[in-house]
Amino acid sequence: MNADRVTVVPPAHALNGQVSPPGSKSITNRALLLAGLSKGKSRLTGALKSDDTKHMANALRAMGVTVHEPDETTFVVTGTGRLEAPSGPLFLGNAGTATRFLTAAAASVDGTVTVDGDEHMRKRPIGPLVDALKRLGIDAEAPTGCPPVTISGNGHFGTGRVEIDAGLSSQYVSALLMAAPLAPEPVTIALTGTEIGARGYITLTLDAMAAFGARVEQVDQATWKVLPTGYQAADFHIEPDASAATYLWAAEKLTGGRIDIGTPAEKFTQPDAKAYDVIAAFPHMPAEIDGSQMQDAIPTLAVLAAFNENPVRFTGIENLRVKECDRTRALSLGLNNIRAGLAEEDGDDLIVHANPALAGQSLSAEIDTFADHRIAMCFALAGLKISGITILDPLCVGKTYPGYWDALAALGVEYKT
């Protein structure tokens, strides 16, 4: 594959076959961290091996955890129950999960940890998490409000009750929850307000914590009391990635084929599996889609909506602007590049003016992916129906789905480079 660009050739046939998405990024990075914080040896199977999980695994190695990779989907993690101070900054690329989760976990280290990322990560806000750590008595600084963050810990997590505004990212809450069992006393974590986007990710966090022996009391819908149990090693199986599955579900629908992804939609525990019903409704997707609880699926749904029978307004997607790139902008730019007027930003909403007649057309468009894996993967779907769609920087899919282009090829999709 050419690293600069790939042009998708619309297949002359429906896409049929068997393709399993890789392991869940969200669950792999939770399980890696919790295994690294555990005493003993944990075996994580079904795991994702991609940029984001490599960054987490390497950071844990830098903090004294032994991480072996006996095969392509397994990590064997041996920890001592504590992380050690690394000898240099932790570089976490543009992995939001690794960056946020390790920022809180670093507070349990005896010594100084600097958490840093690439130029994109250095624009993604982390101030609310840093402020929450400070309120728990932890010495943490992020002068720009974004990484790098420097945390000076004294060997255990902070104590007390802390409120956190998770409006920009639910990952702040997950990060605090996962670090809290390393405190000497119970820690209470409360949301500012009661609502939170991506609440399903908090459930994933609590489930993973329970699997590694943590005990959390749900005080109310917005408050959790975490007991000072530490973690115990566990064998843990990771389900396939639901966000990755959305591209395959959409490819099946767009081409009228049958793609067996090996896991029924209702078996996923990740929030993005909610997108299945919306995709199944195509070409009659609803006129308004609230994306707040399935944010990473919005790029997929937005490109699918371009071929829908009626226009779709995406609401509840404010924080798409602080993901790997400003996704609302990237989607409207890409769609309007395919056909002027196809998309419109209305405040933080995205409106896609559906046009089923786009299918079968030849429209030359170079899609700027802004180094964002989801922008690359979703616009490849447009290339299944429109000839001339070129995805720039296609290897950025390596953040969460390195096998994406091969998966489409296995279903019979061809590329021009």
Ligand X SMILES: C=C(OP(=O)(O)O)C(=O)O
Figure out which of the listed residues 50, 295, 332, 369 binds ligand S3P, where binding follows CB under 6 A: 295
CB neighbours of residue 240 within 10 Å: 21
Residue 350 contact, options ligand X, ligand S3P, none, Cβ 5-8 Å cut-off depending on partner type:
none
Q: Which residues are annotated as a binding site?
A: 25-26, 30, 96, 124, 169-171, 296, 319, 323, 327, 374, 399
Residue 232 CB, nearest approach to ligand X (Å): 26
Instruction: Look up residue 101 and give its amino acid.
Output: F
Residue 369 as a binder of ligand X (CB under 6 A): the answer is: no
Residues 150-189 that bind ligand S3P (CB under 6 A): 169-171, 174
Among 241, 252, 296, 393, binds ligand S3P (CB under 6 A): 296
Is residue 102 a contact partner of residue 130, using CB atoms and an 8 Å limit? no
Asked if residues 254 and 283 have their Cβ atoms less than 8 Å apart, the reply is no
Cβ neighbour number for residue 364 with a 10 Å cutoff: 12
**Min separation Cβ 163 and ligand X, Å:** 22
Residue 49 binding partner per list ligand S3P, ligand X, none, with a CB distance cut-off of 5 to 8 Å that depends on partner kind: none
201 vs 212, beta carbon nearer ligand S3P: 201
Q: What does the alpha-carbon distance between residue 341 and residue 332 come to, in Å, rounded to a whole number? A: 9
| Angle between helices 242-255 and 373-383 in degrees, nearest 10 | 10
125 contacts ligand X (rule: CB under 6 A): no
Query: Is residue 277 exposed (0-12), middle (13-18) or buried (19+ Cβ within 10 Å)?
Result: exposed
| Contact call for residue 93 and ligand X (CB under 6 A) | no
> What's the helix, strand, coil split of the chain in %, to 5?
40, 25, 35
- Give the active site residues: 296
> CB 414: neighbour CB atoms within 10 A?
12
Per DSSP bridges, beta strands 66-71 and 110-116 are: unpaired
Our finding on whether 374 is near ligand X (CB under 6 A) is yes
Sole binder of ligand S3P in the list 21, 96, 147, 230 (CB under 6 A): 96
Closer residue to ligand S3P, CB minimum distance, 401 or 415: 401
Is residue 97 at the binding interface for ligand X, with CB under 6 A as the rule? yes
174 interface partner picked from ligand S3P, ligand X, none, CB below 5 to 8 A per type: ligand S3P
Q: Does 147 bind ligand S3P (CB under 6 A)?
A: no
- The verdict on 253 binding ligand X (CB under 6 A) reads no
Could you tell me if 145 and 138 are in contact, meaning their C-beta atoms sit under 8 angstroms apart? Answer: no
- In the complex with ligand X, the residue whose CB is nearer, 95 or 306, is 95
Going by the annotation, the residues of the binding site for phosphoenolpyruvate are: 25, 96, 124, 171, 327, 374, 399
- Count other Cβ atoms within 10 Å, centred on residue 36: 29
The item of ligand X, ligand S3P, none sharing an interface with residue 95, based on CB under 5 to 8 Å by kind, is ligand X
**Closest to ligand X by CB, 94 or 390:** 94
Integer Cα distance of 375 and 393 in angstroms: 10
Q: Name which of 343, 346, 335 is nearest 375 in CA terms.
A: 335
Task: Give least dist CB 269 to ligand S3P, A.
Answer: 12
For the window 288-317, what string marks contact with ligand X as x by the rule CB under 6 A?
--------x---------------------
Full DSSP string of 5-29: EEEEEPPSS--EEE----B-HHHHH
Which DSSP letter does residue 129 get? H
Per CB under 6 A, the segment of 92-100, 231-239, 275-283, 379-387 that binds ligand X is 92-100
Whole-number Å distance between alpha carbons of 31 and 365: 40
* Positions in the binding site for ligand S3P (CB under 6 A): 26, 96-97, 169-171, 174, 197-198, 201, 295-296, 319
* Positions in the binding site for ligand X (CB under 6 A): 94-97, 296, 323-324, 374, 400
